[in-house]
Amino acid sequence: MPSERASHGLRIAATLGLAFLHLPILLIFLYAFTTEERTYAFPPPGLTTQWFAAAWERPDIWQALSLSLQVAAIATVLAMILGTLVAAAMSRARFFGRDQISLLILLPIALPGVITGIALRSAFGVMDIPFSTWTIILGHATFCIVIVFNNAVARFRRLSGGILEASADLGANAFQTFRHILLPNLGTALLAGGMLAFALSFDEVIVTTFTAGQQATLPIWMLEELIRPRQRPVTNVVAMVVFAATFLPILAAYYLTRNGSETAGAGK
């Protein structure tokens, strides 16, 4: 039947599309075990786990990893605080220009990373702010706030204002209302937004390039190693770590919000 043939064709197209997206990732995993140090011969001449030990013993990798974790953690905390406050204001208040301000909030994630990076670098230069870990954190926070905002504002819109009014009528103060009413209802959305923000910050390259100065996060380290390779399989090992550090939070965020309208990444 025509409908069955169309359905079969769609399955084939979906399979081909998924293969196109994910086969390069599988090749990275494969070449993390190759015995060849400088070439990408296919199939690999042999398989070994020696590059994992080599990566473990390199201090430059640990320094880059430590910086990436530090930047991602602080940027995520800033994003969760500021993104939640902005979401609360935008979902509860009604004022002239509200939609335009919402668009401005979303711009850092919608604009190309090059534009954001150049703008941040110019702003830091005008304000005479030296490049450091904090400039990287501020750069990452610009788009991490949007991630948390998207998740939080969707949950705020589902939360009835009558619950907050009832809490006030029963004598609860602002802190008690936040602790017993808002936080339990916002918890999973905020946790999912934080996980997504951490994942995006951890593997960010473009904005980091413009705001890092002489420092190197793990993605920047990988980029430099690809330009001037010493041990290419070690770079693939690090790529596996970056993949796991970004994939697992995104997967957890998806499962936390899959039954709600604020599904992880919605609206971007």
Q: What are the residue boundaries of the structural domains of the chain, listed by start?
A: 52-257
Does pLDDT of 264 surpass 80? no
What does the DSSP assignment read for 60-104? HHHHHHHHHHHHHHHHHHHHHHHHHHHHHHHHH---TTHHHHHHH
Handedness of CA 73, 75, 81, 87 (dihedral sign): negative
Share of the chain above pLDDT 70, in %: 79
Residues 118-161 have pLDDT tens digits of 888 888 888 888 888 888 998 888 888 888 888 888 777 776 66
Tell me phi and psi for residue 186, to 5 degrees. -95, -10
pLDDT per position as a tens digit, 59-87 = 888 888 889 889 999 999 999 888 888 88
E strands, 4-61, are none
Q: What is the mean pLDDT of the chain?
A: 78
**In a 3-state reduction of DSSP, which class is residue 230?**
coil
Q: What single-letter DSSP state applies at residue 181?
A: I
What amino acid occupies position 231?
Q
Structure tokens belonging to residue 198: 């951490």
Please give the pLDDT value at position 265: 41
Q: How many Å is the Cα radius of gyration of the chain?
A: 22
The reply to whether omega before 108 is within 30° of 0 (cis) is no
Q: Which fold has domain 52-257?
A: MetI-like fold (1.10.3720)
**CA atoms in the 13 A half-sphere facing the CB of 209:** 13
Taking phi first (over 0 means left), then psi (-120 to 50 degrees means alpha), and beta for anything else, what does residue 129 get? beta
Side chain identity at residue 132, one-letter code: S
Longest dimension (CA), the chain: 73
